[in-house]
Copies of this chain bind each other. A is one copy, B any other.
Amino acid sequence: MREYEGGIAAVGTGESRLGRDDVERAARRLAGRVWRTPVVRCDRLDALAGTRLWLKAENLQRGGSFKTRGALLAVERLAAAGSRGVVAQSTGNHAIAVALAARAIGLPAVLVLPEDAVPTKIDLIRETGAEIAFAGTVLAERTAMVERIQELRGYDVVDPYQDRDVVAGQGTATAELIAQIAAEGSRLDAVVVPIGGGSAIAGACLAAAGEGLAVVGAEPDAVPAFTAAVRAGEPVTVPAGHTIADGLRPDRIGSLPFDLAHRTVASVITVSEGAIEDALRAALLHARLLIEPAAATALAAALEHASSFGADVGVVLTGGNVEAGLVTSLLPGAGVPS
């Protein structure tokens, strides 16, 4: 790999560089406005993993995912600059987060979703009163729709992967995890984060800078966009296979997250659909947490590999917006109430 090309030093001009400072600033702006989600321990998951797991339960976050963090900062910045409305594309959780932030701040919002977006996420957006537009199933179709709406309405785009506030805001989840574990007198050897468009892993890399812990990514076998980008040396569009991890369906990593993360991540683990299902079920029945398949992808990677990362491994459970029908289909045979 050529030195510094695409690395942090090459991210835009001096002002657009991002570092741990930006995550700390984001955390101060978010204090008291998003939940400080708990870190959950579970003896049975530790036994399965063969090491101690510290689960950052962002499935319990407002709006049901960690995306609430970055969107709030970005929409607030745009509102302060006189925005007349916002538009964002997303597989779902960033759209929910933008819709909630726009409602809180009093801006109109249009959210562009794939046609196969999960109904739970669509419902959460509808509850806010925001407009929804559907556009195909792959990232390029959604971004084209966003550009059209931006032109027609004069709305500002809240990009889920390229926005500095979004990436720094997402990093606060990992920063909080690190601080919460320090408060317990422990420290992490590694943190495992799922990779969709890349904001979670990029934020985690910023938050972990100088903390001496390995950042590990997890993505579905079916959509290995980060793995492909690392091989190519730059973001590339991968053929999108089907994954139940709807939040990890983006078929291309954002260039900002790739630049921030690709040299910092210790490794990226690709996870089978069966392992994602098993992890979702284990989180529910052992840790009593409902998580969505994207979060289960990170947990699956941790259950399989965490013992090789060290004695204390964090897992960012990014969200909990999952279809009841999917949960039902993954549980042991429906029985009669006892």
- Which residues in A have some Cβ–Cβ distance to B below 8 Å? 35, 38, 40-43, 57, 59-60, 62, 64, 116, 118-119, 244, 246, 284-285, 287-291, 320, 323-329, 331-338
Contacts and interface: CB of A to CB of B under 8 A. Distances in A.
Contact of A59 (B43, B62, B288, B325): B288
Contacts of A327: 284, 327, 331
Contact of A324 (B244, B289, B290, B335): B335
Contacts of A284: 290, 327
Contact of A244 (B116, B289, B328, B337): B337
30 contacts: A35-B41, A38-B60, A40-B60, A42-B60, A59-B288, A60-B288, A64-B288, A119-B338, A244-B337, A284-B327, A285-B324, A288-B289, A288-B291, A289-B290, A323-B335, A323-B338, A324-B331, A324-B332, A325-B331, A325-B332, A325-B333, A325-B334, A325-B338, A326-B337, A328-B333, A328-B334, A328-B335, A329-B334, A329-B335, A329-B337
Contacts of A57: 38
Contacts of A60: 38, 40, 42, 287-289
A338 B326 contact: yes
A41 B337 CA distance: 28
Copies of this chain: 2
Nearest to A43: B62
A2 B328 CA distance: 52
B336 A329 contact: yes
A64 B41 CA distance: 12
Given A289-B290, A325-B331, A327-B331, 12 more contacts: A38-B40, A38-B57, A59-B288, A60-B289, A244-B338, A324-B332, A325-B332, A325-B336, A325-B337, A328-B328, A328-B331, A328-B335
Contacts of A38: 38, 40, 57, 60
8 closest A-B pairs (Cβ-Cβ)? A325-B335, A38-B38, A288-B320, A328-B334, A288-B290, A324-B331, A324-B332, A59-B288
Contacts of A62: 43
A289 B41 CA distance: 14
Given A325-B333, A332-B324, A246 B338 contact: yes
A31 B119 CA distance: 43
A334 B62 CA distance: 26
Contacts of A329: 334-337
A117 to B, nearest CB: 8
A57 B160 CA distance: 32
A144 B21 CA distance: 65
Contacts of A338: 116, 118-119, 244, 246, 323, 325-326
Nearest to A331: B324
A35 B52 CA distance: 14
Contact of A334 (B289, B290, B320, B334): B334
